[in-house]
Structure 1
Amino acid sequence: MKEKVDIKEFALTLGQAGYDKKGTDITILDLEDLSSIADYFVVISASNTKQSQSIADEIEDKGAELGFPMLHREGYHEGEWILLDFGDIICHVFGGNETRQFYGLEQLWNDAPRVEFVGK
């Protein structure tokens, strides 16, 4: 089991990977005390499905590079909502703001603390 600080740093690194591929509106939710599904959600918007796939590829590559293999991926071929499950961290890449707003993860998990993310 990875340490809490390591997991948080990894979530920030995955957010940066999305930022590097021009992902926008990157939000990191700390779910550790709220859910057993994951410790963190990383939520990223893309302007279209091709960009969401590119962001997902970059996140998957970064995870493998750092020794965090992805356990499961959903929605890649459609590209509207790609879910990347790293166990303690789940990344959600939305291929458009309409889909992100429709599912409203930030509203659903409104009581989850936000982790400050500033892309570099």
Structure 2
Amino acid sequence: MMKSALDWAERIAQVIVDKKGENILLLDLRRISPIADYFILATAQSPLHAQAISDEVVEKLKKDGYPIHHVEGYTQAQWILLDYLDIVVHIFLPEVRTFYGLERLWGDAPRRIFSANSTPQGKL
């Protein structure tokens, strides 16, 4: 059976949880913007951690049959963007995430919060 974009987005969020990403938000942009159906925002604690999260997402999703379209920011690893066309993943260092404030920019988007210690919170 074909997975929906939401199924893939939740899979990506879980991979990030498993790699110890923090403050993971899944934003539903379907009624707000044509850019993508979903954004996933996550915080990494170092450039190496950001690259490890990125590598894990790309590898696991490719293995699951959902290949990446484009990657930006990997070398500097301050803000890594993984573009899956209908899902865009943003992996930030803490200060970069605060500076750009995508959560505020997309404030009216329904959101779901993912963390290691609980089931996802929020309704999409």
Fold shared by both chains (TM-score > 0.5): yes
Secondary structure in 2 matching 1:25: strand
Aligned to 1:33: 31
Deviations 1:45-74 (A, max 9, x none): 010000000000011112211211110000
2:23/2:113 contact within 8 Å kept:
no
Is the Cα contact below 8 Å between 2:23 and 2:114 reproduced in 1? no
Report whether the alignment pairs 1:68 with 2:66: yes
Which one of 14, 19, 22 corresponds to residue 21 of structure 1?
19
Structure that is richer in strand per residue: 2
- 1:100 corresponds, among 97, 102, 110, to 97
State the aligned residue count.
116
What residue ranges of structure 2 are gaps of 5+ in the alignment? 118-124
Moved more, 15-24 or 81-90: 15-24
Q: Runs of 5+ in structure 1 lacking a partner?
A: none
CA contact (8 A) 2:17 2:115 kept: no
1: distance between equivalents of 2:105 and 2:81?
Answer: 16
Residues 103 and 110 (structure 1 numbering): CA distance in 2 closer, same or farther, change over 3 Å? Answer: same
SS at match of 2:114: coil
Percent identity over the alignment is: 44
Counterpart CA distance in 2 for 1:89 and 1:26 is 14
